[in-house]
Chain A
Amino acid sequence: GAGVSQTPSNKVTEKGKYVELRCDPISGHTALYWYRQSLGQGPEFLIYFQGTGAADDSGLPNDRFFAVRPEGSVSTLKIQRTERGDSAVYLCASSPGGRGNTEAFFGQGTRLTVV
């Protein structure tokens, strides 16, 4: 595709439910990032993939959060037992390079609301 695509664009779920958020990076980009942006704040790093492997998952807040990228392209962020505090915009970005000094291209985000 032309850019990074994230689906769904909006997700409303009940507290305690499980959700999956999908990211389709730009074709050929080996690096993929997930961020969480709460209202009025800057994006907060969650996890970075280089290819299929998670090179840095130090930003995941707890073990309810997990992400996969099984074929080195599409990634899914999974949140178990959702809490109201998980409500935020979840952003995905991809870049062609393997280091953080290359430009990252962002998707429009998925707005998650936990009620």
Chain B
Amino acid sequence: AQSVTQLDSHVSVSEGTPVLLRCNYSSSYSPSLFWYVQHPNKGLQLLLKYTSAATLVKGINGFEAEFKKSETSFHLTKPSAHMSDAAEYFCVVVYTGGFKTIFGAGTRLFVKA
């Protein structure tokens, strides 16, 4: 079955330290992969997407993610966390030829001063 797993429900970092949010997807044909962010009382916003071009994808606000086919992973990283990064992050997969978007359960990022 098609699925996406976000390995951490909560991640807590100090401001200025690196962020790593982990995502694994079930192996299938080459998927399209996305990271979305959801701030409280705001709609979901696209951070970045992978659609079979470069495996290292740069997004907004300094985030980037690397597609690793051998590991079926698409982890989200940022070198230095800001307080404004505190939010819920969702990894999303769409399998080639399909329309159905599959969301992970989400990772809540806390940033400490």
Encode A36-58 as 1/0 by CB contact (under 8 A) with B. 00000111110010100001101
A101 touching B49, Cβ below 8 Å: yes
Encode A81-115 as 1/0 by CB contact (under 8 A) with B. 00000000001010000011101101111000000
Count of chain A residues near B, Cβ 8 A: 27
A103 touching B46, Cβ below 8 Å: yes
Check A43/B103 contact, CB under 8 A, given A100-B98, A101-B94, A103-B49: yes
Check A101/B32 contact, CB under 8 A, given A41-B105, A41-B106, A42-B103: yes
**Nearest A residue (CB) for B4:** A42
- Kindly state whether residue A59 has any CB partner on chain B within 8 Å: yes
Cα–Cα distance between A9 and B94 once the two chains are bound (Å)? 28
A55 touching B104, Cβ below 8 Å: no
In the complex, number of A-B residue pairs with CB atoms less than 8 Å apart: 59
- Kindly state whether residue B90 has any CB partner on chain A within 8 Å: yes
Could you say which residues of chain A place their CB within 8 Å of the CB of B44? 43, 91, 93, 106
**Nearest A residue (CB) for B6:** A42
**Nearest B residue (CB) for A31:** B99
Could you say which residues of chain B place their CB within 8 Å of the CB of A44? 103
13 A-B pairs, CB-CB below 8 angstroms?
A4-B43, A35-B101, A42-B106, A44-B103, A45-B100, A55-B99, A56-B100, A100-B32, A100-B99, A104-B101, A106-B43, A107-B43, A109-B43
Instruction: Give the 9 A-B CB pairs with smallest separation, nearest first.
Output: A100-B94, A42-B103, A101-B32, A106-B44, A106-B43, A48-B99, A101-B51, A43-B103, A56-B99
Q: Which residues of A contact B (CB under 8 A)?
A: 3-4, 31, 33, 35, 41-45, 48, 50, 55-56, 58-59, 91, 93, 99-101, 103-104, 106-109
Q: Which residues of B contact A (CB under 8 A)?
A: 32, 34, 36, 42-46, 49, 51, 90, 94-95, 98-106
